[in-house]
Amino acid sequence: MLMGPGPSDAHPRVLKAMSTPLIGHLDPDFVGIMDEVKKMVQQTFLTKNHLTFVVSAPGSAGMETCLVNLLEPGDECIICINGVFGGRMAEIADRCGATVHKVEVEWGKIITPAMVKRALKKCPKPKLLAIVHAETSTGVRQPLEEISDLIHNAGGLLMVDAVTSYCGVELRVDDWNIDAIYTGTQKNLSAPPGLSPVSFSNRAVKVLDNRKTKVQSWFLDMSLVKNYWAGKKRAYHHTAPVSSVYALREALSIVLEEGLENRWKRHQAVHEYMKGQLEGLGFKYLVSKKYRLPNLNAVFLPKGVNEAQLRSTLLHEYNIEVGGGLGAFAGKIWRIGIMGESCTKNHVNSLVGALKELL
C-alpha cells in the first residue's frame, strides 16, 4: 500500500492501459490520444488555456519548463519558499540568470500577502512570482487568490507548483488567474510517475513570444515542443513515452468519471477520518487546521517512538509505505499520503490497525 508522499496506488485500469501494444509517437491514432489528453488536462486544471500539454518527464521538469521559458538573464522574480520545492524553484531561477528575491518563512507556515507586499516594495516590477500551492515537504496548503491579485497589479505573472494539489484539492487555474502551472501524474491522479501536465495563460504566451534570448534548455523549449502538441501536422520533437500517455489518459478518464468536486470532497472526508484515528494514537499535526493539506498529512509521532524503525517495520512486515520528513523535519515527522486510489478508508484502517499492533 502506497501511503507516502507519492507515488500513490494505481487503478487496475491504469495498469492495464500501460500494457496496450505500442504505436508510433507520430501515428495518427496516437496524435488523437494526445488531443484527448490535452482536453482532459484542460478540464482538470479548470482552464481554457490553449497552451496546455504534457511534458515528457516528471514534475521537476514541469517546474523547469515554466521557469526556463519565462525567465531570461537579467529578469527579476520573486520566489516564495516555505519548504523543499520553493527552494528548488529559486535554484532553477538563479540558473536562468534571473535576480531572485526570496520570500522565506518557517517550514510548516504559509506565505502571507503581507510578505508578498514587502517583497514588491524591494522588487516593484518582477517578471513573475512563483509559489507552491501544496508543499509536499510539510503538508501546507497555500492560499493563492490574494497573492494572485498582488502580482498581477504589479504587472507580473503568477507561476504555481500544483504537484500535490492537482486532482486532490480545489484548484482553479482560470478563476485564480494562474499564468503558468505544472503538476505531476503520480500523486492524486494515481498514474505512473514520469509525466508533467503544464498550462500557460495568454499573458504567459506573450512573454514567451517576446523573448530576446534562446531558452537555455533545448528539450524544454516551448517554442519547439508546442508544435508537437498542436495542429493537424505535428512537428517531430522527441519520442513521447507512449505507454505512460496511455496510462495518463485512463487516469484522467477515471478522475472525470468521479467528478473533480466529488474527488476533492473524498480526499477531505478520508482525511478527517484518518485525523481522528491518528490523534487517538498520539500523533500530532505539523500544520494548523486552516492551512492543512487533506491528502498529505505531516504528523509528529508519539513521544519515544523511533520513526525510522517504525516506518521500516510497516514496510517490511505490513507492506505499507509512509514517508519520512525532509530537510529540517528529517527524523521528526511522517508524511502520510492519502492520494487518488490510496485515498480510501480501507487504506486508513490498514495503517491504523498496523500502528495499533506496533505501538
Q: Which residues contact 322 (CB under 8 A, 6 or more apart)?
A: 3, 4, 311, 314, 334, 335, 336, 337, 351
How high is the pLDDT of residue 321?
98
pLDDT band at 229 (very low <50, low <70, confident <90, very high): confident
pTM confidence score: 0.96
Residue environment code for 156-195, b if the CB has 16+ CB neighbours within 10 A, otherwise e: bbbbbbbbbbbbbbebebeebbbbbbbbbbbbbbbbbebb
DSSP-assigned states of every residue in 8-55: PPPPHHHHHHHTSPP--TT-HHHHHHHHHHHHHHHHHHT---SEEEEE
How high is the pLDDT of residue 63?
98
Q: Give the mean pLDDT of the chain.
A: 96
Over 80: is that where the pLDDT of 231 sits? Answer: no
Strand order across the beta sheet in which 296-300 lies: 284-285, 296-300, 333-337, 323-324
pLDDT band at 162 (very low <50, low <70, confident <90, very high): very high
Residue 53 dihedral angles phi and psi, to the nearest 5° = -160, -170
Q: 285, 297 in Cβ contact below 8 A?
A: yes
Across the range 205-231, mean pLDDT stands at 91
Reply yes or no: is the peptide bond before residue 7 cis, omega within 30 of 0: yes
Nearest-5° angle of CA 165, CA 57, CA 198? 45
Over 80: is that where the pLDDT of 161 sits? Answer: yes
Over 90: is that where the pLDDT of 290 sits? Answer: yes
Over 80: is that where the pLDDT of 145 sits? Answer: yes
The model's pLDDT over 307-329, given as tens digits with 9 standing for 90+, comes to 999 999 999 999 999 999 998 89
How high is the pLDDT of residue 234?
80
How high is the pLDDT of residue 228?
84
Percent of the chain with pLDDT strictly greater than 70? 99
pLDDT band at 230 (very low <50, low <70, confident <90, very high): confident
The model's pLDDT over 255-275, given as tens digits with 9 standing for 90+, comes to 999 999 999 999 999 999 999
Domains annotated on the chain, with CATH: 12-256 (3.40.640.10), 259-358 (3.90.1150.10)
Question: 93-107, 217-231, 278-292 — which is least confidently predicted?
Answer: 217-231
The model's pLDDT over 109-137, given as tens digits with 9 standing for 90+, comes to 999 999 999 999 999 999 999 999 999 99
The model's pLDDT over 1-15, given as tens digits with 9 standing for 90+, comes to 999 999 999 999 999
Nearest of 71, 142, 76, 136 to residue 105 by alpha carbon:
142
Nearest of 326, 355, 330 to residue 164 by alpha carbon:
326
How high is the pLDDT of residue 233?
73
